[in-house]
Amino acid sequence: MAFPTLDYNLINKSEVPSALGGEAIQLVHVAKTFVTGALAVGKVTAVLRMPANTRYVDLYADADDLDSGTPALTFDVGIAGVSDTTYDDIDCFLDGSTIGQAGTGGDQAMLQAGAGLLVPVEHYITITAAVAAATAVEGDVRLGIQCVLGTS
């Protein structure tokens, strides 16, 4: 299965203050449909393939109601290397987020960690079901990522 690769021509750009190196921040928005099988505990879903030397500035996530039972579902958002696993960290951005639980649809979670993180290898942004859904329901998870690509 092929994962989406960034199309640099479709990305919005804004200038970074010179204190951050003067490089352009890329605004990347992506949605991933989660089938019910992807909501089982420990399932890791690669959402987006990112280039080496990406520095993360900010991230938000929101989701449809993906757990219609007594809310249990929690998500981790992190990274996994394409071929180099040295930098794998499944929860470097969000750890135990409840955005997919029943009654929280439309709620957003903001970056809790990982601001300024520089990943020197090609990698995936991943979403992991840390705790399985009580009653899994297919739906979407959306990510908004602000990053500087090709930073050194």
HSE (side-chain half, CA atoms, 13 Å) at 136: 17
Contact 60, 150 (CB under 8 A): no
Please give the average per-residue pLDDT across 127-141, as a whole number.
Answer: 93
User: Which helix (H) or strand (E) covers residue 32, if one does?
Assistant: strand 24-34
**Domain range annotation of the chain:** 35-148
CATH code that applies to domain 35-148: 2.60.120
Contact 129, 86 (CB under 8 A): no
Confidence of residue 19 (pLDDT cuts 50, 70, 90): very low
pTM of this structure: 0.80
pLDDT digits (tens, 9 = 90+) for 32-88: 999 999 999 999 999 999 999 999 988 888 889 999 888 899 999 999 999 888 889
